[in-house]
Structure 1
Amino acid sequence: MTAGRDWVRYWRDPGRPLEAMAAHFERHVYHRHSHDAYSFGVTEEGAQAFSCRGAAHTSAAGMVMAFNPDDPHDGRAADALGFTYRIVHIGPDLIRALLADVTGGAAALPLFARPVVHDPVLARALRRLHSALLGGADTLRRDEELAAAVAAMVRRSATRGLSAPSPAADADRTAAQVRELLHERMPADITLDELAKGRSRFAVYRDFRARYGMAPSDYLRQLRLRAARALLAAGVPPAEAAGRVGFADQSHLTRWFGRYYGITPAGYARGRASVASPR
Protein backbone atom coordinates (compact mmCIF):
# COMPACT_ATOMS: atom_id res chain seq x y z
CA MET A 1 0.00 0.00 0.00
CA THR A 2 1.38 3.42 -0.95
CA ALA A 3 -0.13 6.91 -0.94
CA GLY A 4 2.26 9.76 -1.52
CA ARG A 5 5.14 8.93 0.75
CA ASP A 6 3.13 6.45 2.79
CA TRP A 7 4.24 2.81 2.73
CA VAL A 8 3.23 -0.43 4.45
CA ARG A 9 4.75 -3.91 4.90
CA TYR A 10 2.55 -6.66 6.36
CA TRP A 11 3.12 -10.21 7.62
CA ARG A 12 0.55 -12.82 8.71
CA ASP A 13 1.06 -16.19 10.40
CA PRO A 14 -0.92 -18.78 8.41
CA GLY A 15 -1.67 -20.94 11.44
CA ARG A 16 -2.00 -18.62 14.43
CA PRO A 17 -3.70 -15.29 15.29
CA LEU A 18 -0.44 -13.38 14.87
CA GLU A 19 0.17 -10.49 12.46
CA ALA A 20 2.77 -7.75 12.13
CA MET A 21 3.03 -4.51 10.20
CA ALA A 22 5.66 -1.86 9.56
CA ALA A 23 4.49 1.44 8.11
CA HIS A 24 5.24 5.09 7.48
CA PHE A 25 2.29 7.47 7.27
CA GLU A 26 2.23 11.15 6.43
CA ARG A 27 -1.21 11.43 4.83
CA HIS A 28 -3.08 8.37 6.05
CA VAL A 29 -5.57 8.93 8.88
CA TYR A 30 -7.01 5.95 10.74
CA HIS A 31 -10.78 6.06 11.18
CA ARG A 32 -11.87 5.11 14.67
CA HIS A 33 -11.69 1.33 14.91
CA SER A 34 -10.71 -1.55 17.18
CA HIS A 35 -9.06 -4.97 16.82
CA ASP A 36 -10.11 -8.38 18.08
CA ALA A 37 -6.51 -8.88 19.22
CA TYR A 38 -3.97 -7.30 21.54
CA SER A 39 -1.92 -4.75 19.60
CA PHE A 40 1.57 -3.71 20.67
CA GLY A 41 3.39 -1.05 18.68
CA VAL A 42 6.64 0.90 18.77
CA THR A 43 6.98 4.34 17.19
CA GLU A 44 10.34 4.51 15.44
CA GLU A 45 10.37 8.02 14.00
CA GLY A 46 8.15 11.07 14.29
CA ALA A 47 5.03 11.05 16.42
CA GLN A 48 1.58 9.50 16.14
CA ALA A 49 -1.43 11.23 17.71
CA PHE A 50 -4.53 9.24 18.58
CA SER A 51 -7.52 9.13 20.90
CA CYS A 52 -8.29 6.10 23.04
CA ARG A 53 -10.45 5.54 26.13
CA GLY A 54 -11.73 9.07 26.14
CA ALA A 55 -8.37 10.83 26.08
CA ALA A 56 -5.85 12.16 23.56
CA HIS A 57 -2.41 10.52 23.41
CA THR A 58 0.83 10.96 21.50
CA SER A 59 3.37 8.23 20.87
CA ALA A 60 6.76 9.73 20.03
CA ALA A 61 9.90 7.91 18.88
CA GLY A 62 10.84 5.09 21.25
CA MET A 63 7.44 4.86 22.93
CA VAL A 64 5.31 1.72 23.13
CA MET A 65 1.58 1.54 22.39
CA ALA A 66 -0.60 -1.12 24.03
CA PHE A 67 -4.20 -1.71 22.94
CA ASN A 68 -6.49 -4.27 24.53
CA PRO A 69 -8.90 -6.20 22.30
CA ASP A 70 -11.86 -4.00 21.30
CA ASP A 71 -10.13 -0.77 22.41
CA PRO A 72 -11.53 1.87 20.00
CA HIS A 73 -8.85 4.22 18.72
CA ASP A 74 -7.92 6.34 15.72
CA GLY A 75 -4.54 7.63 14.54
CA ARG A 76 -2.75 10.21 12.47
CA ALA A 77 0.60 11.91 12.09
CA ALA A 78 1.21 14.55 14.76
CA ASP A 79 2.88 16.82 12.20
CA ALA A 80 3.65 17.10 8.49
CA LEU A 81 6.75 14.91 8.75
CA GLY A 82 4.67 11.84 9.51
CA PHE A 83 5.61 8.87 11.64
CA THR A 84 7.13 5.43 11.21
CA TYR A 85 6.06 2.57 13.44
CA ARG A 86 5.87 -1.17 13.77
CA ILE A 87 3.02 -3.07 15.39
CA VAL A 88 2.16 -6.68 16.27
CA HIS A 89 -1.37 -8.05 16.66
CA ILE A 90 -1.70 -11.14 18.90
CA GLY A 91 -4.99 -12.98 19.43
CA PRO A 92 -6.29 -13.37 23.01
CA ASP A 93 -6.20 -17.18 22.83
CA LEU A 94 -2.53 -17.08 21.87
CA ILE A 95 -1.79 -14.60 24.68
CA ARG A 96 -3.60 -16.86 27.16
CA ALA A 97 -1.67 -19.91 26.02
CA LEU A 98 1.66 -18.10 26.27
CA LEU A 99 0.93 -16.80 29.78
CA ALA A 100 -0.29 -20.20 30.97
CA ASP A 101 2.99 -21.58 29.75
CA VAL A 102 4.92 -19.02 31.81
CA THR A 103 2.93 -19.51 35.01
CA GLY A 104 2.59 -23.27 34.69
CA GLY A 105 -1.20 -23.15 34.87
CA ALA A 106 -4.31 -21.26 33.86
CA ALA A 107 -3.68 -17.55 33.38
CA ALA A 108 -6.09 -14.63 33.26
CA LEU A 109 -5.89 -12.33 30.28
CA PRO A 110 -3.94 -9.14 31.02
CA LEU A 111 -5.32 -5.62 30.97
CA PHE A 112 -3.28 -2.67 29.78
CA ALA A 113 -4.54 0.56 31.36
CA ARG A 114 -2.08 2.91 29.64
CA PRO A 115 -2.20 3.11 25.84
CA VAL A 116 1.27 4.70 25.73
CA VAL A 117 4.26 3.51 27.75
CA HIS A 118 7.80 4.86 27.74
CA ASP A 119 9.90 1.76 28.44
CA PRO A 120 13.07 1.04 26.40
CA VAL A 121 13.09 -2.59 27.58
CA LEU A 122 9.63 -3.19 26.14
CA ALA A 123 10.53 -1.33 22.96
CA ARG A 124 13.57 -3.58 22.43
CA ALA A 125 11.54 -6.75 23.07
CA LEU A 126 8.90 -5.70 20.54
CA ARG A 127 11.52 -4.73 17.95
CA ARG A 128 13.16 -8.13 18.28
CA LEU A 129 9.81 -9.87 17.84
CA HIS A 130 8.82 -7.69 14.92
CA SER A 131 12.18 -8.20 13.19
CA ALA A 132 11.88 -11.97 13.62
CA LEU A 133 8.37 -11.98 12.09
CA LEU A 134 8.97 -9.71 9.11
CA GLY A 135 12.59 -10.73 8.66
CA GLY A 136 11.91 -14.37 7.86
CA ALA A 137 13.46 -15.84 11.03
CA ASP A 138 13.21 -19.55 11.76
CA THR A 139 10.10 -20.79 13.54
CA LEU A 140 12.06 -21.39 16.74
CA ARG A 141 13.36 -17.81 16.80
CA ARG A 142 9.86 -16.43 16.18
CA ASP A 143 8.47 -18.53 19.04
CA GLU A 144 11.20 -17.39 21.41
CA GLU A 145 10.78 -13.71 20.64
CA LEU A 146 6.99 -13.96 20.87
CA ALA A 147 7.12 -15.56 24.31
CA ALA A 148 9.72 -13.07 25.54
CA ALA A 149 7.83 -10.02 24.23
CA VAL A 150 4.48 -11.08 25.70
CA ALA A 151 6.03 -11.90 29.08
CA ALA A 152 7.83 -8.53 29.13
CA MET A 153 4.71 -6.60 28.20
CA VAL A 154 2.63 -8.26 30.92
CA ARG A 155 5.27 -8.03 33.63
CA ARG A 156 6.20 -4.42 32.96
CA SER A 157 3.01 -2.79 31.76
CA ALA A 158 -0.18 -4.76 32.52
CA THR A 159 -2.37 -4.00 35.53
CA ARG A 160 -2.79 -7.74 35.96
CA GLY A 161 0.66 -9.26 35.92
CA LEU A 162 2.04 -12.76 36.22
CA SER A 163 4.52 -14.61 38.35
CA ALA A 164 7.06 -17.03 37.01
CA PRO A 165 7.27 -20.51 38.54
CA SER A 166 10.17 -21.27 40.80
CA PRO A 167 13.13 -22.91 39.04
CA ALA A 168 12.66 -26.65 38.62
CA ALA A 169 15.13 -29.01 40.25
CA ASP A 170 15.69 -30.80 36.93
CA ALA A 171 16.56 -27.64 34.96
CA ASP A 172 19.95 -29.01 33.89
CA ARG A 173 18.39 -32.26 32.72
CA THR A 174 15.76 -30.35 30.74
CA ALA A 175 18.45 -28.22 29.07
CA ALA A 176 20.48 -31.32 28.20
CA GLN A 177 17.44 -33.01 26.66
CA VAL A 178 16.71 -29.95 24.55
CA ARG A 179 20.35 -29.83 23.42
CA GLU A 180 20.22 -33.50 22.42
CA LEU A 181 17.04 -32.94 20.41
CA LEU A 182 18.58 -29.95 18.61
CA HIS A 183 21.52 -32.14 17.59
CA GLU A 184 19.20 -34.91 16.45
CA ARG A 185 16.95 -32.66 14.38
CA MET A 186 19.64 -30.45 12.86
CA PRO A 187 19.45 -29.08 10.17
CA ALA A 188 15.63 -29.29 10.18
CA ASP A 189 13.56 -26.44 11.54
CA ILE A 190 11.94 -27.06 14.92
CA THR A 191 9.41 -25.25 17.09
CA LEU A 192 9.56 -24.40 20.77
CA ASP A 193 6.55 -26.69 21.32
CA GLU A 194 8.50 -29.62 19.92
CA LEU A 195 11.44 -28.87 22.19
CA ALA A 196 9.19 -28.53 25.22
CA LYS A 197 7.39 -31.86 24.71
CA GLY A 198 4.54 -30.91 27.02
CA ARG A 199 6.66 -28.91 29.45
CA SER A 200 6.49 -25.15 29.90
CA ARG A 201 7.98 -23.53 26.80
CA PHE A 202 9.08 -20.55 28.85
CA ALA A 203 10.83 -22.79 31.40
CA VAL A 204 12.56 -24.76 28.64
CA TYR A 205 13.82 -21.53 27.07
CA ARG A 206 14.95 -20.17 30.46
CA ASP A 207 16.69 -23.39 31.55
CA PHE A 208 18.49 -23.85 28.25
CA ARG A 209 19.72 -20.26 28.23
CA ALA A 210 20.91 -20.54 31.83
CA ARG A 211 22.81 -23.77 31.10
CA TYR A 212 24.31 -23.00 27.67
CA GLY A 213 24.42 -19.20 27.61
CA MET A 214 22.26 -18.74 24.51
CA ALA A 215 18.74 -19.30 23.23
CA PRO A 216 17.91 -22.64 21.57
CA SER A 217 17.58 -20.89 18.20
CA ASP A 218 21.08 -19.41 18.54
CA TYR A 219 22.43 -22.83 19.44
CA LEU A 220 20.72 -24.38 16.40
CA ARG A 221 22.21 -21.71 14.14
CA GLN A 222 25.62 -22.45 15.62
CA LEU A 223 25.19 -26.15 14.84
CA ARG A 224 24.31 -25.27 11.26
CA LEU A 225 27.37 -23.07 10.92
CA ARG A 226 29.64 -25.77 12.32
CA ALA A 227 28.19 -28.23 9.82
CA ALA A 228 28.71 -25.70 7.04
CA ARG A 229 32.37 -25.28 8.03
CA ALA A 230 32.89 -29.02 7.73
CA LEU A 231 31.26 -29.13 4.29
CA LEU A 232 33.24 -26.15 3.04
CA ALA A 233 36.47 -27.70 4.25
CA ALA A 234 35.54 -30.84 2.33
CA GLY A 235 35.15 -28.86 -0.90
CA VAL A 236 31.38 -28.44 -1.02
CA PRO A 237 30.45 -25.13 -2.76
CA PRO A 238 28.96 -22.48 -0.44
CA ALA A 239 25.55 -22.46 -2.16
CA GLU A 240 25.20 -26.22 -1.78
CA ALA A 241 26.50 -26.15 1.79
CA ALA A 242 23.94 -23.51 2.70
CA GLY A 243 21.06 -25.66 1.52
CA ARG A 244 22.36 -28.83 3.14
CA VAL A 245 22.69 -27.32 6.62
CA GLY A 246 19.37 -25.46 6.69
CA PHE A 247 20.10 -21.88 5.61
CA ALA A 248 17.66 -20.21 3.23
CA ASP A 249 20.34 -19.49 0.63
CA GLN A 250 24.02 -18.65 0.18
CA SER A 251 23.60 -15.01 1.22
CA HIS A 252 21.92 -16.11 4.44
CA LEU A 253 24.87 -18.41 5.20
CA THR A 254 27.38 -15.71 4.25
CA ARG A 255 25.81 -13.14 6.55
CA TRP A 256 25.85 -15.36 9.63
CA PHE A 257 29.17 -17.02 8.80
CA GLY A 258 30.82 -13.61 8.78
CA ARG A 259 29.20 -12.59 12.05
CA TYR A 260 30.40 -15.74 13.78
CA TYR A 261 33.81 -16.29 12.20
CA GLY A 262 34.88 -12.98 10.66
CA ILE A 263 35.39 -14.53 7.21
CA THR A 264 33.24 -15.37 4.22
CA PRO A 265 32.38 -19.02 3.45
CA ALA A 266 34.37 -18.74 0.21
CA GLY A 267 37.35 -17.34 2.08
CA TYR A 268 37.16 -20.14 4.60
CA ALA A 269 36.95 -22.73 1.83
CA ARG A 270 40.13 -21.31 0.30
CA GLY A 271 41.87 -21.58 3.64
CA ARG A 272 42.61 -17.89 4.06
CA ALA A 273 40.83 -14.82 5.38
CA SER A 274 39.29 -12.27 3.05
CA VAL A 275 41.28 -9.10 3.61
CA ALA A 276 41.00 -5.68 2.05
CA SER A 277 43.51 -4.84 -0.65
CA PRO A 278 46.19 -2.35 0.45
CA ARG A 279 45.66 1.18 -0.79
Structure 2
Amino acid sequence: MNPAPKEQTRFWQASALGDTEMLHARYFQQRFAPHVHEGYVITIIESGAQRFWHRGSEHLAPVGSMVLINPDELHTGAKASEEGWRYRGFYPDSERITGVLDELELKHDGLPRFDASVLHDPQLAKAFSWLHCSAERGASALEQQTAWREAVLLLVQRHARAGAARTPGNEPCAVARAKELMDSRLAYPPSLEELATAVNLSPFHFARVFRQATGLPPHAWLKQRRLSRARELLKSDCLPFNVAFALGFSDQSHLNRQFKQAYGVTPGEYRRACTH
Protein backbone atom coordinates (compact mmCIF):
# COMPACT_ATOMS: atom_id res chain seq x y z
CA MET A 1 0.00 0.00 0.00
CA ASN A 2 1.36 3.40 -0.97
CA PRO A 3 1.75 5.83 1.92
CA ALA A 4 -0.53 8.85 1.97
CA PRO A 5 1.13 11.87 0.31
CA LYS A 6 2.67 14.29 2.77
CA GLU A 7 1.04 17.67 3.20
CA GLN A 8 3.32 20.69 3.08
CA THR A 9 2.90 24.14 4.57
CA ARG A 10 5.01 27.23 4.95
CA PHE A 11 3.56 30.03 7.05
CA TRP A 12 5.27 33.34 7.76
CA GLN A 13 4.73 37.04 8.30
CA ALA A 14 5.94 39.35 5.53
CA SER A 15 7.62 42.19 7.43
CA ALA A 16 7.86 44.31 4.26
CA LEU A 17 4.05 44.17 4.01
CA GLY A 18 3.28 45.18 7.57
CA ASP A 19 3.62 41.63 8.90
CA THR A 20 0.87 40.36 6.62
CA GLU A 21 0.39 36.63 7.23
CA MET A 22 1.32 34.42 4.26
CA LEU A 23 0.79 30.74 3.58
CA HIS A 24 2.07 28.41 0.84
CA ALA A 25 0.37 25.05 1.28
CA ARG A 26 -0.25 21.70 -0.40
CA TYR A 27 -3.15 19.80 1.16
CA PHE A 28 -4.47 16.31 0.45
CA GLN A 29 -6.66 15.53 3.47
CA GLN A 30 -7.03 18.90 5.22
CA ARG A 31 -10.59 19.97 6.02
CA PHE A 32 -11.11 23.45 7.46
CA ALA A 33 -13.96 23.66 9.96
CA PRO A 34 -16.24 26.72 9.71
CA HIS A 35 -14.21 29.72 10.80
CA VAL A 36 -13.67 33.44 10.22
CA HIS A 37 -10.70 35.77 9.82
CA GLU A 38 -10.53 39.28 11.21
CA GLY A 39 -8.97 40.49 7.97
CA TYR A 40 -9.27 39.50 4.32
CA VAL A 41 -8.42 36.14 2.76
CA ILE A 42 -6.92 36.23 -0.74
CA THR A 43 -5.71 32.93 -2.19
CA ILE A 44 -4.52 31.70 -5.58
CA ILE A 45 -5.09 28.05 -6.50
CA GLU A 46 -1.86 26.72 -8.05
CA SER A 47 -2.94 23.13 -8.65
CA GLY A 48 -5.86 20.83 -7.99
CA ALA A 49 -9.12 22.42 -6.82
CA GLN A 50 -10.72 23.58 -3.59
CA ARG A 51 -14.33 23.27 -2.47
CA PHE A 52 -15.68 25.51 0.27
CA TRP A 53 -18.86 26.78 1.86
CA HIS A 54 -19.31 30.55 1.97
CA ARG A 55 -22.34 32.85 2.24
CA GLY A 56 -24.80 30.00 2.43
CA SER A 57 -23.67 27.96 -0.58
CA GLU A 58 -20.92 25.68 -1.88
CA HIS A 59 -18.23 27.04 -4.21
CA LEU A 60 -15.59 25.42 -6.40
CA ALA A 61 -12.22 27.09 -6.98
CA PRO A 62 -10.29 25.39 -9.83
CA VAL A 63 -6.63 25.81 -10.70
CA GLY A 64 -5.81 29.37 -11.73
CA SER A 65 -8.72 30.90 -9.84
CA MET A 66 -8.69 33.04 -6.70
CA VAL A 67 -10.69 32.74 -3.50
CA LEU A 68 -11.71 36.00 -1.84
CA ILE A 69 -13.24 36.18 1.65
CA ASN A 70 -14.20 39.45 3.35
CA PRO A 71 -13.40 40.01 7.05
CA ASP A 72 -15.57 38.12 9.54
CA GLU A 73 -17.29 35.95 6.90
CA LEU A 74 -17.81 32.31 7.89
CA HIS A 75 -16.32 29.76 5.50
CA THR A 76 -14.86 26.26 5.26
CA GLY A 77 -12.33 24.58 2.95
CA ALA A 78 -11.56 21.12 1.58
CA LYS A 79 -10.20 19.38 -1.50
CA ALA A 80 -12.38 19.10 -4.59
CA SER A 81 -10.37 16.33 -6.25
CA GLU A 82 -8.23 13.36 -5.22
CA GLU A 83 -5.04 15.28 -5.89
CA GLY A 84 -5.95 17.83 -3.25
CA TRP A 85 -5.00 21.44 -3.84
CA ARG A 86 -2.00 23.74 -3.62
CA TYR A 87 -2.39 27.44 -3.05
CA ARG A 88 -0.75 30.68 -2.02
CA GLY A 89 -2.59 32.73 0.56
CA PHE A 90 -2.54 36.30 1.86
CA TYR A 91 -4.27 37.21 5.13
CA PRO A 92 -3.97 41.01 5.31
CA ASP A 93 -5.48 43.18 8.03
CA SER A 94 -8.16 45.51 6.73
CA GLU A 95 -5.81 48.47 7.08
CA ARG A 96 -3.44 46.97 4.51
CA ILE A 97 -6.22 47.30 1.92
CA THR A 98 -7.75 50.62 2.96
CA GLY A 99 -4.29 52.14 3.33
CA VAL A 100 -3.62 51.67 -0.38
CA LEU A 101 -6.93 53.35 -1.23
CA ASP A 102 -6.14 56.25 1.09
CA GLU A 103 -2.74 56.76 -0.52
CA LEU A 104 -4.41 57.07 -3.92
CA GLU A 105 -7.19 59.29 -2.56
CA LEU A 106 -9.80 56.75 -3.61
CA LYS A 107 -13.05 57.33 -1.77
CA HIS A 108 -14.38 54.34 0.13
CA ASP A 109 -17.29 54.08 2.52
CA GLY A 110 -15.82 51.86 5.19
CA LEU A 111 -14.19 48.58 4.19
CA PRO A 112 -14.22 47.48 0.54
CA ARG A 113 -16.53 44.48 0.15
CA PHE A 114 -16.10 41.91 -2.58
CA ASP A 115 -19.16 40.16 -4.00
CA ALA A 116 -17.55 37.16 -5.68
CA SER A 117 -16.30 34.21 -3.62
CA VAL A 118 -14.27 32.85 -6.58
CA LEU A 119 -12.54 35.13 -9.06
CA HIS A 120 -11.57 34.09 -12.58
CA ASP A 121 -9.12 36.86 -13.44
CA PRO A 122 -5.79 35.57 -14.87
CA GLN A 123 -4.05 38.96 -14.77
CA LEU A 124 -4.98 39.51 -11.14
CA ALA A 125 -4.02 35.95 -10.16
CA LYS A 126 -0.66 36.43 -11.86
CA ALA A 127 -0.05 39.70 -10.00
CA PHE A 128 -0.78 38.21 -6.57
CA SER A 129 1.07 34.98 -7.33
CA TRP A 130 4.17 36.91 -8.41
CA LEU A 131 3.99 39.03 -5.27
CA HIS A 132 3.66 35.96 -3.06
CA CYS A 133 6.65 34.27 -4.74
CA SER A 134 8.67 37.48 -4.32
CA ALA A 135 7.88 37.60 -0.61
CA GLU A 136 8.73 33.91 -0.19
CA ARG A 137 12.14 34.30 -1.80
CA GLY A 138 12.89 37.39 0.30
CA ALA A 139 12.74 40.08 -2.38
CA SER A 140 13.53 43.61 -1.27
CA ALA A 141 10.96 45.59 0.69
CA LEU A 142 10.93 48.08 -2.16
CA GLU A 143 9.91 45.41 -4.66
CA GLN A 144 7.29 43.80 -2.40
CA GLN A 145 5.69 47.07 -1.34
CA THR A 146 5.36 48.32 -4.92
CA ALA A 147 3.89 45.03 -6.14
CA TRP A 148 1.44 44.92 -3.22
CA ARG A 149 0.00 48.31 -4.06
CA GLU A 150 -0.33 47.51 -7.74
CA ALA A 151 -2.07 44.19 -7.01
CA VAL A 152 -4.47 45.67 -4.45
CA LEU A 153 -5.41 48.53 -6.75
CA LEU A 154 -6.16 46.07 -9.55
CA LEU A 155 -8.22 43.90 -7.18
CA VAL A 156 -10.29 46.77 -5.81
CA GLN A 157 -10.89 48.53 -9.11
CA ARG A 158 -12.00 45.35 -10.87
CA HIS A 159 -13.96 43.65 -8.14
CA ALA A 160 -15.05 46.27 -5.59
CA ARG A 161 -16.01 49.07 -8.00
CA ALA A 162 -13.58 51.63 -6.59
CA GLY A 163 -13.04 54.98 -8.27
CA ALA A 164 -10.18 55.85 -10.57
CA ALA A 165 -6.82 56.71 -9.04
CA ARG A 166 -5.57 60.22 -9.65
CA THR A 167 -3.16 60.54 -12.54
CA PRO A 168 0.48 60.80 -11.46
CA GLY A 169 1.94 64.22 -12.14
CA ASN A 170 5.37 65.28 -13.27
CA GLU A 171 7.57 65.37 -10.16
CA PRO A 172 11.16 65.67 -11.45
CA CYS A 173 12.61 66.76 -8.11
CA ALA A 174 11.03 63.80 -6.31
CA VAL A 175 12.34 61.36 -8.91
CA ALA A 176 15.83 62.86 -8.83
CA ARG A 177 15.97 62.78 -5.02
CA ALA A 178 14.78 59.16 -4.95
CA LYS A 179 17.46 58.16 -7.46
CA GLU A 180 20.13 59.84 -5.33
CA LEU A 181 18.92 58.04 -2.22
CA MET A 182 18.81 54.62 -3.89
CA ASP A 183 22.19 55.18 -5.52
CA SER A 184 23.72 55.95 -2.13
CA ARG A 185 22.28 52.77 -0.61
CA LEU A 186 22.73 50.08 -3.24
CA ALA A 187 23.71 47.46 -0.66
CA TYR A 188 20.93 48.36 1.79
CA PRO A 189 18.16 49.89 -0.31
CA PRO A 190 15.39 51.95 1.28
CA SER A 191 11.84 50.67 1.38
CA LEU A 192 9.09 52.24 -0.68
CA GLU A 193 7.79 54.01 2.41
CA GLU A 194 11.24 55.47 3.15
CA LEU A 195 11.59 56.78 -0.40
CA ALA A 196 8.11 58.28 -0.35
CA THR A 197 8.74 60.00 2.97
CA ALA A 198 12.03 61.42 1.67
CA VAL A 199 10.27 63.05 -1.30
CA ASN A 200 7.07 63.98 0.59
CA LEU A 201 4.66 61.87 -1.48
CA SER A 202 2.42 58.94 -0.57
CA PRO A 203 4.12 55.60 -1.33
CA PHE A 204 1.88 54.52 -4.18
CA HIS A 205 1.72 57.96 -5.78
CA PHE A 206 5.50 58.13 -5.64
CA ALA A 207 5.81 54.66 -7.23
CA ARG A 208 3.53 55.71 -10.09
CA VAL A 209 5.36 59.04 -10.56
CA PHE A 210 8.70 57.22 -10.64
CA ARG A 211 7.48 54.67 -13.20
CA GLN A 212 6.05 57.40 -15.41
CA ALA A 213 9.35 59.30 -15.36
CA THR A 214 11.73 56.35 -15.82
CA GLY A 215 9.66 53.60 -17.38
CA LEU A 216 10.58 51.32 -14.45
CA PRO A 217 9.27 50.72 -10.93
CA PRO A 218 11.79 51.79 -8.25
CA HIS A 219 13.04 48.26 -7.49
CA ALA A 220 13.73 47.58 -11.19
CA TRP A 221 15.61 50.86 -11.54
CA LEU A 222 17.66 49.91 -8.48
CA LYS A 223 18.46 46.51 -10.02
CA GLN A 224 19.72 48.18 -13.21
CA ARG A 225 21.83 50.61 -11.19
CA ARG A 226 23.35 47.76 -9.18
CA LEU A 227 24.29 45.92 -12.36
CA SER A 228 25.78 49.06 -13.88
CA ARG A 229 27.85 49.62 -10.73
CA ALA A 230 28.88 45.93 -10.80
CA ARG A 231 30.33 46.45 -14.27
CA GLU A 232 32.32 49.44 -13.04
CA LEU A 233 33.76 47.45 -10.13
CA LEU A 234 34.60 44.43 -12.28
CA LYS A 235 36.41 46.68 -14.75
CA SER A 236 38.47 47.88 -11.78
CA ASP A 237 39.51 44.24 -11.22
CA CYS A 238 37.29 43.64 -8.18
CA LEU A 239 36.51 39.98 -7.58
CA PRO A 240 32.89 38.94 -8.24
CA PHE A 241 32.49 37.77 -4.64
CA ASN A 242 33.48 41.20 -3.34
CA VAL A 243 31.24 42.93 -5.88
CA ALA A 244 28.25 40.84 -4.78
CA PHE A 245 28.92 41.68 -1.13
CA ALA A 246 29.47 45.39 -1.77
CA LEU A 247 26.26 45.82 -3.75
CA GLY A 248 23.87 43.85 -1.57
CA PHE A 249 23.34 40.74 -3.71
CA SER A 250 22.36 37.78 -1.53
CA ASP A 251 25.44 35.85 -2.70
CA GLN A 252 27.73 35.50 -5.71
CA SER A 253 25.34 33.17 -7.54
CA HIS A 254 22.64 35.83 -7.25
CA LEU A 255 24.98 38.32 -8.93
CA ASN A 256 25.94 35.72 -11.56
CA ARG A 257 22.31 35.07 -12.52
CA GLN A 258 21.29 38.70 -12.80
CA PHE A 259 24.50 39.77 -14.54
CA LYS A 260 24.26 37.04 -17.17
CA GLN A 261 20.57 37.73 -17.75
CA ALA A 262 21.44 41.37 -18.43
CA TYR A 263 24.75 41.08 -20.30
CA GLY A 264 24.97 37.50 -21.57
CA VAL A 265 28.22 36.65 -19.77
CA THR A 266 29.15 35.90 -16.15
CA PRO A 267 30.83 38.52 -13.96
CA GLY A 268 34.03 36.44 -14.01
CA GLU A 269 34.12 36.37 -17.81
CA TYR A 270 33.43 40.09 -17.94
CA ARG A 271 36.20 40.86 -15.43
CA ARG A 272 38.76 38.74 -17.27
CA ALA A 273 37.94 40.37 -20.60
CA CYS A 274 38.26 43.86 -19.15
CA THR A 275 41.42 43.36 -17.07
CA HIS A 276 43.62 41.05 -19.15
TM-score, L = length of structure 1: 0.90
Seen in structure 2, the aligned counterparts of structure 1 residues 240 and 121 have a Cα distance that, compared at 3 Å, is same
Unaligned runs of 5+ in 1: 273-279
- Pick aligned residue for 1:234 from 231, 236, 240: 236
Code of the residue aligned with 1:48 in structure 2: it is Q
Q: Quick one: which amino acid aligns to residue 145 of structure 2? A: D
Superimposed CA distance per residue, residues 81-135 of structure 1 (whole angstroms, 9 cap, x where no aligned partner):
1111111111112222121012277774210111101001110110121011111
Alignment correspondent of 2:7: 6
- Residue in structure 1 matching 2:63, options 57, 61, 64: 61
* Amino acid in structure 2 at the alignment position of 1:268: Y
Report the secondary structure of 1:271's partner residue.
Answer: helix
In the other structure, the counterpart of 1:222 is 224
Residue 171 of structure 1: aligned partner: 171
2:134 corresponding residue in structure 1: 132
1:94-133 matched pairs, under 5 angstroms:
94-103=96-105, 108-133=110-135
Structure 2 match to 1:40 = 42
Match of 2:25 in 1: 23
In structure 1, what is the Cα distance between the partners aligned to 2:60 and 2:183?
48
Which whole-Å CA distance do the structure 2 matches of 1:107 and 1:185 have between them? 40
1:70 partner amino acid = D
Aligned residues of 1:132 and 1:145 also touching (Cα < 8 A): no
Residue 166 of structure 1: how far off its partner (Å):
3.3
Consecutive unaligned residues in structure 2, runs of 5 or more: none
Matches within 5 A, 1:169-208: 170-197=170-197, 198-208=200-210
Aligned counterparts of 2:149 and 2:86: Cα–Cα separation in 1: 25
| Percent identity of paired positions between Structure 1 and Structure 2 | 34
> Structure 1 107/220 Cα, relative in aligned 2: closer, same or farther at 3 Å?
farther
Q: Report the Cα offset of residue 174 of structure 1.
A: 2.9
Partner of 1:277: none
Measured at CA, do residues 107 and 162 of structure 1 come closer, stay the same or move farther in structure 2, by a change above 3 Å? farther
- Give the stretch that moved more between structures: 174-183 or 261-270: 174-183
* Contact 2:104–2:165 (8 Å) recurs in 1: yes
Contact persistence 2:142–2:192 (CA under 8 A): yes
Q: Residues 110 and 104 from structure 1, CA distance in 2 versus in 1: closer, same or farther, beyond 3 angstroms?
A: closer
Q: TM-score, normalised by structure 2?
A: 0.91
Deviates further, 134-143 or 186-195? 186-195
Amino acid corresponding to residue 11 of structure 1 in structure 2: W
SS at match of 1:252: helix
Q: Which residue of 1 aligns with 2:158?
A: 156
The two structures, once aligned, show a CA RMSD in angstroms of 1.9
